[in-house]
Amino acid sequence: MNNVIENAAARLNPLLRRECRIGLILGSGLGSYAEKIESKRFVEYSELSGFPQSRVEGHKGRFVIGELFDKTVICMQGRFHFYEGYPQSQIALAVRLMKRLGVERLLLTNAAGGVNLNFSPGDLMLISDHINFSGSNPLIGENDDSFGPRFPDQSNVYDRDLRAKVRKMAEDIGIPLREGVYMMFSGPAFESPAEIVFARTVGASAVGMSTVPEAIAAAHCGMKTIGISLITNMAAGIFDQPLSHEEVQQTAARASDRFTKLTDGILEHVF
Ligand code: HPA
C-alpha cells in the first residue's frame, strides 16, 4: 500500500460521482484542453501530501475531474518531469492514483521535436512505441505487486487495437496523423544535433522529455494507453536556428484547434 496514493484517492474519489474510466495527461502548451471539461472539479497537486508539484511555465498543477461526451474523465493539467528532479517513481504516482480511481484508458499528450525529416512543425503523431533513453525507469525500487509484476512486458505499451481505431477515426474526421517512435531524453537541455542524428539512426521519429515514465507505469498496471505528440519544432540541427520553449508554446497554441479535434475524437469515439 502506498500512503500517498491511498490518501490522494480518498480526497479525489468523492468528486467522481460515477465510474471514471478515462485518464488524460496534457503536455506543454496543451493544458487549455482541460477548459472543455464540463462540471469541473479541481484538486491542486499542492493539496495532496507527498505529491510532486509542477513548476514549468505553460503547465498548471492540478487534477481536473468532470464530464466530456457524457463520460467522466480525470485530467492532469500539468505533469511532472524527470528534469525537475523527481525520481520517475514519483512521476508514476499520478498514473497509479488514476488506476486506484478506476481508470482503464489513458491518453498521454506531449509537445515533441520532429526527428523524421518528412515531419513539419504542427504535425500530430500517434506514438507507436518508445525508446526510453532517459537513463531511468519509473519501476525502479521495490515492486508493488498490487499494481503489476516485477518484470512487466512492454511489447504493447501503446495499445495496438486502440491505435488502429485512432487512425481510422482521424481519417474519418479529416485530421492528418503521423505515426512513429517517441524517444525520451532526460532534458532539460534540448538535444544536441549529434544526438538527433543518433535518435534518427536508432529509429525515433520524435524526441521529448516526458510521457515514457507515465506510459511504463500505465502498462505495468494494465491500463491501455494512447500517446499523441504534437510536433512543435524540428529537432536540433535540422534547421539552422536555435530551439526555444517559446517556439514550443507558440506552435502548440497555433495547432490547438487540430489537437482539440483529435482529442475530442479519441474521447468520444475510441475510449
Ligand atoms: N526536444 C525535446 N523536447 C521537446 C522538443 C525537442 O525538440 N520540442 C518540444 N519538446
Instruction: Say how many domains are in the chain.
Output: 1
Cα 253 from Cα 32, distance rounded (Å): 9
Provide the pLDDT confidence category of residue 29 given band limits of 50, 70 and 90: confident
Whether pLDDT at 55 is above 80: no
Residues with beta carbon inside 6 Å of ligand 1? 111-113, 190-191, 207-209, 232-233, 235, 243, 248
Nearest protein Cα to ligand 1, atom 5: 113
> What value does the mean pLDDT take over residues 246-269?
93
Mean of all residue pLDDT scores within the chain = 94
Provide the pLDDT confidence category of residue 1 given band limits of 50, 70 and 90: low
Exactly one of 8, 169, 170, 209 is catalytic; name it: 209
Provide the pLDDT confidence category of residue 57 given band limits of 50, 70 and 90: low
207 alpha carbon – ligand 1 mean position (Å): 6
User: 232: part of which helix (H) or strand (E)?
Assistant: strand 224-234
Whether pLDDT at 78 is above 90: no
Whether pLDDT at 182 is above 90: yes
Amino acid 34: pLDDT: 93
Nearest ligand 1 atom to alpha carbon 185: 2
The CA-atom distances, in angstroms, between 161 and each of 5, 212, 268 are 30, 20, 16
Residues spanned by the domain of 66? 2-270
Cα 135 from Cα 88, distance rounded (Å): 10
Cell 502548451 identifies what position? Answer: 29
C-alpha cell at 55: 513548476
In three-state secondary structure terms, 68 is strand
Provide the pLDDT confidence category of residue 59 given band limits of 50, 70 and 90: low
Cell 493539467 identifies what position? Answer: 77
Amino acid 54: pLDDT: 64
Whether pLDDT at 249 is above 70: yes
Chain-centre distance of CA 89, in angstroms? 15
Whether pLDDT at 2 is above 90: no
Express each pLDDT in 108-167 by its tens digit: 999 999 999 999 999 999 999 999 999 999 999 999 999 999 999 999 999 999 999 999
- CATH classification of the domain holding 217: 3.40.50.1580
In three-state secondary structure terms, 245 is helix
